[in-house]
Amino acid sequence: MVNEDAKAGDEAMDGDDEEGNEAVEPELIRAAVPRTYDRWRTPVASVEPLAARRSLPNSDDPVAVDVADPSSPLTQRAVGATNEVVVEPLTGSLFALVQLDKIPLSFDDFELLLPYKWLNDEVINGMSTLMQWRNERTVATNPSAPTHYFFSTYFYTKLWHMNEYSYSIVQRWTKDFDVLNYDKIFFPINVANSHWILAVLDKSAGTISVYDSLGGRNEIVGESLKRWVLDEADFYDKQARQWTVLHPWCRQQENCDDCGVFAVQNMNFIARGRDLSTMMRSTAYYRRRMAAELLASSIGGEG
């Protein structure tokens, strides 16, 4: 059911660009729009209409009407599954509901995807795992596609340990493969155990880009990753090169809770080769979509 009388918040406003054209603004988390009556409070416009269920080509998909589109309406099947997963099971909240490689996801983890909650390592590493699997599928189908590697959130925690850089602690992480062979390397990072950001190493461009939805520059992160890639090349006798640290634009969060959502979605959009300015849905949508993707053990599109 839908709440047609949603509480008014900060409604999204349209402005004009430099040429006088109407500019489209992202949907705000507190926008005064009709929302679902459930705990997810998802904008109705981002959910498949009940009347269209089973009439659309991919209506039975566990995630979205068009999984290749990161903004596609969620299917009613996804709505039902995500409602069920945030009802605490009789067996308790700690048992794994989904296992993604070595990452167990329990009721407690899925509940963190509800609005106004902070994401944890398990949720973000689960999404990274799905993106790694997607890239492997993409490259298997198209060998010329860019290759990606997604580090665990724990990598940077070890690299910058006790406020000190320590290559020796993480050197073994890449002993079985050549990580510098990948076209892009993604680093989801928890800064001071209080804020999620994303760093992306782009081999062809020679850049390390740090994306922060609070607008911070995080100089230590950029410089420590620059030092890591130089140490990695030196340890494995690879040719050294110059690296430039960048702080590109990314969409800014509207509260103190959504940094993890933006870290994951920045990773997803960049891996897909999409412009970050096209990330227009409410974070309530992205949270619920991530829950559906984790439940389905799959993330759509190519990248």
Q: What is the CATH number of the domain that holds 170?
A: 3.40.395.10
Asked if residue 108 belongs to a domain, the reply is yes
Asked if residue 91 belongs to a domain, the reply is yes
Q: What does the alpha-carbon distance between residue 269 and residue 278 come to, in Å, rounded to a whole number? A: 9
Asked if residue 20 belongs to a domain, the reply is yes
Cross-strand bridge partners of residue 223: none
Output the pTM of the full model. Answer: 0.90
Asked if residue 97 belongs to a domain, the reply is yes
Confidence of residue 20 (pLDDT cuts 50, 70, 90): very low
| CB distance 213 to 250 below 8 Å | yes
What domain count does the chain have? 1
Asked if residue 302 belongs to a domain, the reply is no
Rg (Cα) of the chain, in Å, rounded?
A: 20
What burial letters (b/e) apply to 5-32, b meaning 16+ CB within 10 Å?
A: ebeeeeebeeeeeeeeeeeeebbbbbbe
Q: Which of 15-29, 128-142, 236-250 has the lowest mean pLDDT?
A: 15-29
Confidence of residue 57 (pLDDT cuts 50, 70, 90): low
Q: What is the pLDDT of residues 152-200, one digit of tens each?
A: 999 999 999 999 999 999 999 999 999 999 999 999 999 999 999 999 9
Q: Which of 11-20, 35-44, 157-166, 294-303 has the lowest mean pLDDT?
A: 11-20
Quick one: average pLDDT of 33-47? 96
Asked if residue 303 belongs to a domain, the reply is no
Q: What does the alpha-carbon distance between residue 283 and residue 229 come to, in Å, rounded to a whole number? A: 33
Quick one: average pLDDT of 4-32? 53
Q: What does the alpha-carbon distance between residue 214 and residue 254 come to, in Å, rounded to a whole number? A: 9
Asked if residue 65 belongs to a domain, the reply is yes
Residue 148 structural domain:
2-296
| CB distance 148 to 184 below 8 Å | yes
Q: What is the pLDDT of residues 95-107, one digit of tens each?
A: 899 999 999 999 9
Q: What is the pLDDT of residues 71-91, one digit of tens each?
A: 999 999 999 999 999 998 887
| CB distance 186 to 268 below 8 Å | no
Asked if residue 301 belongs to a domain, the reply is no
Q: What does the alpha-carbon distance between residue 93 and residue 13 come to, in Å, rounded to a whole number? A: 40
